[in-house]
Structure 1
Amino acid sequence: MIAGPPGSVAVPDPVRALADGAPVRPVWRNELGGLTFSIGDRYVKWAPAGSGLDLGREAVRLRWAAAHLPVPELLGSGSAQSGSWLVTRAIAGRNAVDPRWQAEPEIAARALGSGLRALHEALPVADCPFSWSAEDRIAAVFERGRLDPGEWHAEHTGQPVRRLLDRLADPPPVDRLVVCHGDACAPNTLLDSAGQVAGYVDLGSLGVADRWADLAVGSWSLEWNYGAGYQPLYFQAYGSEPDPDRISYYRLLWDLAE
């Protein structure tokens, strides 16, 4: 499943109850089947039971990040037998894959690169209680004990799984520890009308890691959302030359771990 606008979907009963008669508009579906709904000036994230999505994990990270970044105000959360939900206040701005920014990918790519650098500079590593380290993510892959090559990107499909796992088990030395977003793909940054970062969303994996864990996937997402050719603008705006070895490694880790 590819993340994107969900089209027509059934509104779960708990989400309908939260709306209390107000119009409910589905706006996003993620790769695990989680849904996001717009209700007035609120957004409700919905994780179906069994999806593997942990919205409680995101709630605690939102509370911590709010002291340092423009992130959605957490209004509530809860769970039922059918799933769990997270309610936040909307942030003014448009998703970086909104048609406005898909029509101006150069502006978006620069904003995403400079925005990620600002995020890395703003969040204090010493005070962060969360980890997104390569070691923790590698351990999760091996503990899970199952891999689905059908869900991997083209550059990894067809390669021997054993070779990929051997590469995964040997991460490159850390370049610079930062607090990473954890899912720095283009849809998770909001831009204002001037093409500047207005806020960040989907912080469920936020934690301390090498900055290339974010950079590798954030730059990769430009291809998925805008097409080829925009990564140089992204790295220039971030302020770092591409590191091919770390980019390759952290893209592999993303495919196998997430």
Structure 2
Amino acid sequence: MSNTADAEIPTGPVAVPPIIAALARGDAVTPVWRNELGGLTFRLDDGRGRVRYAKWVAAGTPEIDLPGEAERLDWAARRGAPVPPVLELGTQADGAWLVTEEVPGTSAVLPRWVAEPATAAASIGRGLRLLHDALPVEECPFDWSVERRLLRADERIADGEGPGDWAPEHRHLEVAEARARLGTPPPIDRLVVCHGDACVPNTLLHDDGTFAAHVDLGSLGVADRWADLAVASWSILHDYGPGYDAFLCEGYAVEPDPERMAYYRLLWDLA
């Protein structure tokens, strides 16, 4: 998939923004993730058992809305969702930051879980089902609908983005054809409060392989559940290899829906 494929665990030196060094207050600072838009996440460890995570994004990156993510985390946490508690949020001329408390678990993209893909994929599915069942659609103020996302797709097309910016499975499409396909969404299966970026790195697992928590909920909002399941299955294909998306559906307790998966993967790519 396009976005997740461009995100990575940093392997070389990473410059620590001055505000992150200041927020660390003497804690050890370790870069742990670089997203596809260049945003960075750092682990802040005081060496005495307390760990925080600090996200930083440069100014002029409208696709990453840290205040919006903080609002969504608070909303979900108040309704019992296993998500990181927000500690600090701020902006200055060169960027914005969000600091959260550590929650138990390790990212499902780490090598130990890549080596146990069936276990990890099933737990990702169970974690999504728990989220979808727990959060009340009727109380959710956040929208992740097809209509809203198509507006973003049209903005990107107007800015000149096209097949070269898409995942390989969509690059054979002309822009007009791809957009036309998105014009006829499949009927809603079940409206839920979606994660909004349910890729493998954004699920945390306990040491025994069971689901622990969700992270990176900056796009959380109401949508068909397949908007999440399509992205999760696509990410599993990329991070674990072919076939393991079946374990995702098994963990979620749903039969695969190729039509909805194909639609929401294309929407993800364009929007």
What is the TM-score of this pair, normalised by structure 1? 0.97
Q: 1:91 aligns with which of 78, 100, 103?
A: 103
Q: Is residue 225 from structure 1 mapped to residue 230 from structure 2 by the alignment?
A: no
* Equivalent in the alignment of 2:19: 14
- Residue 29 of structure 1 aligns with an amino acid whose one-letter code is R
What SS class does the counterpart of residue 32 from structure 1 fall into?
coil
Q: Is residue 190 from structure 1 mapped to residue 204 from structure 2 by the alignment?
A: yes
Bigger shift: residues 220-229 or 199-208: 220-229
Q: Is residue 161 from structure 1 mapped to residue 212 from structure 2 by the alignment?
A: no
Q: Identity over the aligned pairs, expressed in percent?
A: 57
Aligned residue runs from structure 1 range 46-195, under 5 A: 46-52=56-62, 53-67=64-78, 68-144=80-156, 145-146=158-159, 147-195=161-209
Q: What is the CA distance between 1:21 and its match in structure 2?
A: 2.5
* Equivalent in the alignment of 1:31: 36
Q: Deviations over 1:129-181 (max 9, x none)?
A: 10100111002222342224222111101211100011112211111100000
* Equivalent in the alignment of 1:43: 53
Q: Deviations over 1:81-125 (max 9, x none)?
A: 111000000112110111111111110011011111111101110
Q: Deviations over 1:199-248 (max 9, x none)?
A: 11000000000001001010111011111110111111111111111111
CA gap of 1:148–1:19, structure 2 versus 1, over 3 A, is farther
**Unaligned segments of structure 2, at least 5 residues:** 46-50
Q: What is the CA distance between 1:128 and its match in structure 2?
A: 0.6
* Equivalent in the alignment of 2:260: 246
- Residue 226 of structure 1 aligns with an amino acid whose one-letter code is Y
Aligned length: 257
Q: What is the CA distance between 1:20 and its match in structure 2?
A: 2.1
CA gap of 1:29–1:80, structure 2 versus 1, over 3 A, is same
Root-mean-square deviation (Å): 1.1
Bigger shift: residues 125-134 or 4-13: 4-13
* Equivalent in the alignment of 2:8: 4
Moved over 6 A (4+): none
Q: What is the CA distance between 1:24 and its match in structure 2?
A: 0.8
What is the TM-score of this pair, normalised by structure 2? 0.92
- Contact 2:162–2:175 (CA under 8 A) maintained in structure 1: no
- Residue 201 of structure 1 aligns with an amino acid whose one-letter code is V
